[in-house]
């Protein structure tokens, strides 16, 4: 009994219980300006390497991330530098249509036409932007390829500004897990 209580107290609350009908939920991870408040030299090298591994190299960059044990461990390490949550279909659609760029031949190309998506992901059966959105939202079998095709989203500063960049979201700050409230932040930044 004590072991299970200890396990639940060690595992962060946001890392448990986000499986819906046996499907892992997709998480939108967004880098916060807190990373640039402290100097890069003072930042832990492991934290810097995790942020680079997640393709979060600039302020207000955002990516989609599949929630599993490995990514939860990485998010625990960088939680004080990023904000994340579980976006709905409307937010994902708006992000991809307005801020979406794809990688074709190592080039940064806007998703203005379905032929761009077909050239990059046609061999996986993803031939249009709506197929790409569906693959991201359902965390389908080709989620990894679809996510790697997407360039990290470069969002603008949120309208109204950030509240408290140093505090966690549950302490009325900006970093950490926002769960469903990430949709409101995405709309302010899009």
pLDDT digits (tens, 9 = 90+) for 99-128: 999 999 989 999 999 999 999 999 999 999
Residue 66 and residue 26 in one domain: yes
Q: Which pLDDT belongs to residue 11?
A: 43
Residue 49 and residue 77 in one domain: yes
Q: Which pLDDT belongs to residue 57?
A: 82
Residue 184's closest CA among 28, 80, 7?
Answer: 28
Query: How many Å apart are CA 127 and CA 59, to the nearest integer?
Result: 31
Residue 71 and residue 7 in one domain: yes
CB 150 within 8 A of CB 131: no
Query: How many Å apart are CA 2 and CA 65, to the nearest integer?
Result: 33
Say what the pTM is: 0.75
Under-70 pLDDT residues of the chain: 1-42, 164-173
Q: Which pLDDT belongs to residue 167?
A: 64
Q: Please give the tally of structural domains in the chain.
A: 2
Residue 109 and residue 158 in one domain: no
Q: Which pLDDT belongs to residue 2?
A: 35
Strands 26-31 and 107-110: unpaired
CB 159 within 8 A of CB 185: no
């Amino acid at each position: 009994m004590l072991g299970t209580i200890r396990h639940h107290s060690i595992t962060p609350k946001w890392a448990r219980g986000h499986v819906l009908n046996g499907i892992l939920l997709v998480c939108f991870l967004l880098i916060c300006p807190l990373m640039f408040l402290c100097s890069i030299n003072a930042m832990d090298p492991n934290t810097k390497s995790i942020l680079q591994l997640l393709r979060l190299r600039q302020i207000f960059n955002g990516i989609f991330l599949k929630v599993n044990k490995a990514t939860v461990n990485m998010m625990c390490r960088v939680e004080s530098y990023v904000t994340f949550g579980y976006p709905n279909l409307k937010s994902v659609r708006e992000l991809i249509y307005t801020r979406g760029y794809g990688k074709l031949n190592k080039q940064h190309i806007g998703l203005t036409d379905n032929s761009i998506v077909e050239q990059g992901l046609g061999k996986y059966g993803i031939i249009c932007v709506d197929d790409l959105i569906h693959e991201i939202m359902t965390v389908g079998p080709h989620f990894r390829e679809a996510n790697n095709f997407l360039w990290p989203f470069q969002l603008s500063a949120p309208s109204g500004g950030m509240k408290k960049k140093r505090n966690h979201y549950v302490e009325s700050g900006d970093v950490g897990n926002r769960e469903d409230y990430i949709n409101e932040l995405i709309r302010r930044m899009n």
